[in-house]
Amino acid sequence: MLLIEKVALLKATEIFSQIPDDILARLASVTEETTIEPHVRFIEKGDVGTDMYIIVEGRVRVHDASLVFTEVTAGMPIGEFALFSPAPRVASCTTEVETRILIITRDALSDLMADRPEIADSVIRMLIERLRTANARISDLTAQLSQPTSAPD
């Protein structure tokens, strides 16, 4: 990919959408692009990850054994929590078709954030918004589960 294409992909990704293009160009310059064959598991649940991936083209299944949580397609990130927390991965990721990905390492992002703290601000805002959304979903599900069910007649 050309640098300008990488910048456009990063800009279109929620986690980096509020970051100015000149800063994204610096990040894009240290990303790595690779292609993964179909049906390859490239993230294993339980492994400690340090990289985030953005799908350039293709499709990835996010799963735990046979339970599929979601499918991720072009422009969507995978593994962004690994950039900030060295915890075990909570799901596995397997390509469904030949898939091109952009790889962002924790070290590359950390170096850039040390120079440009507004990146951290943007990322923190996005992660907090995701947490709020998840909390609202949990609250809704809890309310639904606590409602009495009526017995069939």
State the Cα–Cα distance between residues 108 and 111, nearest whole angstrom: 5
The DSSP code for 48 is B
**Tokens coding 128:** 């907090």
**Residue 143 and residue 35 in contact, taking contact as beta carbons nearer than 8 Å:** no
Using the predicted structure, report yes or no on whether residue 93 has a pLDDT greater than 90.
Answer: yes
CATH topology classification for 3-141: Jelly Rolls (2.60.120)
State the Cα–Cα distance between residues 74 and 101, nearest whole angstrom: 9
Q: What is the pLDDT of residue 52?
A: 92
Q: What is the pLDDT of residue 35?
A: 97
Using the predicted structure, report yes or no on whether residue 149 has a pLDDT greater than 80.
Answer: no
Residue that is written with structure tokens 């995701």 in the block:
130
Using the predicted structure, report yes or no on whether residue 102 has a pLDDT greater than 90.
Answer: yes
Residues 6 or more apart whose Cβ sits within 8 Å of residue 58: 36, 73, 74, 95, 96, 97, 98, 99, 100, 101
Please compute the mean of the pLDDT values over residues 47-60 and round it to a whole number. Answer: 94
Q: What is the pLDDT of residue 5?
A: 94
For residue 144, give the amino acid letter.
Answer: Q
